[in-house]
Amino acid sequence: MSRTSVRVGGLHAVASLLARDSTRVRRLWVRAGREDDRLAALLAMAESTGIPVERVARERLDSLAGLTSHQGVVAELAPAPPRGEAELEACLDALAKPPLLLILDGVQDPHNLGACLRTADAAGVDAVIVPKDRSAGLTAVVRKVASGAAEVVPLFQVTNLARCLRALRDRGIWLYGAAGEAEQSLYRTDLTGPLGLVLGSEGKGLRRLTREHCDALVRIPLFGSVASLNVSVAAGVLLFEARRQRSPDI
């Protein structure tokens, strides 16, 4: 694969690309012999935008997709331009409402990052922020797990997460870090204003410096025998409690 291209597999992920950002899609590979309504709709989208389609054997498609489950279709696309601190500032400046941000401190498992992006999209998050180092990038696995959310949720990779958190606080954005040992319950916390929810890595949680830049730490009350939740599950609990508070009519 060219260093200037990315491959994405999966019907939903590829359809989302064609619907939202077809100019990035260079071509599609489709499994020879597969004929069904979902694939036909996807091929019609590709044809309408002039994207070339090549039918290939399943073995060839498996090779093109690598470790990603492809469901009979793989897209080659130009990589999205990187988004960093400057693009994040522009994104926040353009918002006409209090921002809702998800900040992930060192989530390295691509399945977890993909699931977090999918949850962020469902909860209406304005931006997801991750550090450039010690974090999974936008790999094909991330895109597949995200089921199209990776193409629509703005993801910003910042060089220095602590500095970014300081800048967010200077903007008046309240930062709440998730920690199992925190005294303050998520459900007794006001999440209605400008907000950034900060979650740590799968094993170690929030780093010390990240904790120090949070306005407060909150916990998700647990009632069973497990000591903690998967980071993507925790993100869902936090984000949808914030969404519930911010949308009283739902």
10, 151 contact by CB (below 8 A): no
Both 95 and 43 in one domain: the answer is: no
Last residue of one domain, picked from the residues 15, 50, 77: 77
216, 176 contact by CB (below 8 A): yes
Asked if residue 184 belongs to a domain, the reply is yes
Asked if residue 1 belongs to a domain, the reply is no
Q: What is the pTM of this model?
A: 0.78
Both 91 and 48 in one domain: the answer is: no
Asked if residue 137 belongs to a domain, the reply is yes
CB-side exposure of 74: number of CA atoms within 13 Å?
A: 27
> Could you report the per-residue pLDDT of 21-78, keeping only the tens digit for each?
788 889 999 999 888 898 999 999 999 999 999 999 989 988 887 756 788 999 888 8
Write down the pLDDT at residue 101: 98
Both 213 and 159 in one domain: the answer is: yes
Both 50 and 103 in one domain: the answer is: no
State the Cα–Cα distance between residues 231 and 130, nearest whole angstrom: 14
CATH number of the domain that residue 107 is part of: 3.40.1280.10
Q: Which residues pair with 200 in a beta bridge?
A: 105
21, 90 contact by CB (below 8 A): no
CB-side exposure of 93: number of CA atoms within 13 Å?
A: 6
Length of the chain (residues): 250
Write down the pLDDT at residue 175: 98
**Residue 166 CA, distance from chain mean position:** 22
CATH number of the domain that residue 23 is part of: 3.30.1330.30
Asked if residue 161 belongs to a domain, the reply is yes
Both 140 and 161 in one domain: the answer is: yes
Q: How many domains are there within the chain? A: 2
pLDDT of 2 strictly over 50: no
Asked if residue 97 belongs to a domain, the reply is yes
Write down the pLDDT at residue 233: 95
State the Cα–Cα distance between residues 179 and 175, nearest whole angstrom: 13
State the Cα–Cα distance between residues 27 and 29, nearest whole angstrom: 7
Both 106 and 44 in one domain: the answer is: no
Range in 2-16, 50-64, 96-110 the model is least confident about: 2-16
Percent of the chain with pLDDT over 90: 62
pLDDT of 202 strictly over 80: no
State the DSSP string of 191-246.
--SSEEEEEEBTTTBS-HHHHHTSSEEEE----SS-S---HHHHHHHHHHHHHHHH
Last residue of one domain, picked from the residues 23, 55, 77: 77
Write down the pLDDT at residue 56: 93
Both 93 and 64 in one domain: the answer is: no
Last residue of one domain, picked from the residues 52, 77, 102: 77
- Name the residue range of residue 71's domain: 6-77
